[in-house]
Each structure stands twice: as structure tokens, then as C-alpha cells.
Amino acid sequence: MQFPADIVLNWLSLYLWSFMRIGGLLMVMIPFGGRAVPARVRLLLAFAISFTVVPLLPPVHGIELFSLRSFLVVIQQLLIGFAIGFITHLVMQTFVLAGQVIAMQTSLGFASMVDPTNGQNSPVIGQFYLLLGTLVFLSLDGHLQLIRLITMSFQTLPIGESGLSSLDFEQIAAWYSQLFYAALAMTISAIVSMLLINIAFGVMTRAAPQLNIFSIGFAVSMLFGLFILWLTIGNFLTHFEHQWWSARSLACGLLKINC
């Protein structure tokens, strides 16, 4: 059995272009995009998903595999995958920022550790929220939902030279402001509580000047900080669900999918 060269090249190009879109997603998406997951594992996952998706895709005509147009198509597919995977980072950074704010307000910011995602030091509370958010993300099958969306996107955003527009990237940048809104909404109770505690310290200092408030204030702030963290951790799932469904709606809008 013989196959013409154009049929073979068209078949290979479909695998390459779909692999780029799916691989771009897995390279950035939480938790597969972290340093804890080897690059070989991401490549195997991307190849396995592409192997199952490509037989369902219509052939792409008019674009040669070894051409400048093919290079532009590869860039477009990577940008689509990167954009959808980057949305998960925005969701997780919401809770990292919230943990950093709580740590600074409760005198727990001195305890820091290396962030496995970006390799920089950050407060332990922020890392705790990041780990908790990752577990909730996996428990809600967020990774499976994004893989499903990226496979459905081949129908709404067919492989070609056209991909995400400048307005789509503007939506991602505009959604970035919700990161700060959600982090503030999550930490406002801790901020107000620590403000009241600091006001109480100020009243005690004025009422009893001989009391060395600086020697006990740090320890008391840490104890109250842990207590506030314990009281507010119960609302973590509610904040995460709100932020995740908002991010999922953004991903559906970028991929032109009705969710």
C-alpha cells in the first residue's frame, strides 16, 4: 500500500498543530506546568491527547507543513494553549496574594519558603493557600475541564492562521484585576481583625505606659493571626469556586464555546 506524499504531510501537520495547542496548555496549566512535573511527562500526555483528538479533526488544506504559513499556525496554536493555561495561574495567584496579605498583617510573613512554581521565596501561608487551591482544583476536575475545552476548541477555533485576537488578550489583561478584588474580599476580615487588635494594643499602651507592649505584641499578633487563619479557612472553598467559575467562563469566551 502506497500513500502520496501530500496525504502523509497533511496527516503529520494535523498531529503537529494539535500537539502544539494541547502541549501549550499542559506546559502552563497548574499543576502540570510546575517544575515538579517532568517535561517528558507533559510531552507524553500531550501526545496521548493529540493521538485521540486528531482522527476527529477535519483536514486542513492549503497550508504546507514546511512553509512560513505553517510556522505561523504553530505560533497561533501555542498562543491558544498558553492563554488558556495562564488563566489557571491567575486563579492560583489570587490565593497566593491573599496568603501574603494575611501573613504580613498577622506578623507571620517572616516564615518563607521557595515557591516550586517560580523558584522564588514567598510566605508560607501563601504556599499553603497555593497547595490547598491546587488540591481543590484537582478535586473539582479543573484539569479535565480545561482539557475538554481545549479539545472542543478545535471545532470553534479551527486550525489555521487565525487564532486569538487582540481583544481576547485584552480580556485576559482586564480579568487580571479580578485577582486583586478576590484577594481583598478573602482577606478583608483578617485585615479588619488585626486592625482592631492593633488599636487595642495602642489603648493598652496609653493606659499603662510601663507595660512594654513591644515585647509581647509580636507574640500576641502571631497567636491571633493563627486564630484568624483558622476562622477564615472555612470560606476558602467558596472563594475558590467563585474565582474558578469566573475563570472558566473567560476560557469559554476565548475559545468561543457555550458553557
Average pLDDT for runs of 10 along the chain of length 259: 62 79 88 79 87 79 72 86 89 86 74 59 78 89 88 83 79 84 85 82 73 68 80 84 89 85
Q: How many domains would you assign to the chain?
A: 1
Q: What is the pLDDT of residue 186?
A: 86
Do the Cβ atoms of 18 and 50 come closer than 8 Å? yes
Q: What is the pLDDT of residue 28?
A: 87
Q: How many CB atoms lie within 10 A of CB 79?
A: 17
Do the Cβ atoms of 111 and 58 come closer than 8 Å? no
Whether 46 maps to a domain, the answer reads yes
Residue 168 lies in domain: 5-254
State the Cα–Cα distance between residues 214 and 26, nearest whole angstrom: 49
**Exposure on the CB side of residue 109, measured as CA atoms within 13 A:** 12
Whether 259 maps to a domain, the answer reads no
Whether 202 maps to a domain, the answer reads yes
In the numeric block, which cell numbers belong to residue 248? 472558566
Q: What is the DSSP letter of 208?
A: -
CA-to-CA dists, residue 37 to 34, 173, 212, angstroms: 6, 27, 50
